[in-house]
Amino acid sequence: MATEEMKIYTLAEMKDKYIGKIGNPERDEYEYELRMDVLGKMIKSARQERKLTQEQLGKLVGVQKAQISKLERSANSATIDTIIKVFRALKAEINFNVKLEDNFLKLA
Q: What is the mean pLDDT of residues 86-107?
A: 76
89 pLDDT above the threshold of 80: yes
Q: Which CATH class is domain 11-107?
A: mainly alpha
pLDDT, residue 16, reads 92
Predicted confidence (pLDDT) per residue in 23-43, tens digit? 989 988 888 888 888 899 999
Helix (H, G, I), strand (E, B) or coil at 91: coil
Helix axes 25-49, 65-73, angle to 10 degrees: 130
Sequence spans of domains, the chain: 11-107
Helix (H, G, I), strand (E, B) or coil at 23: coil
Helix axes 65-73, 54-61, angle to 10 degrees: 110
Closest to 59 in 3D by CA, of 22, 90, 105: 90
Chain centroid, CA 68 distance in Å:
15
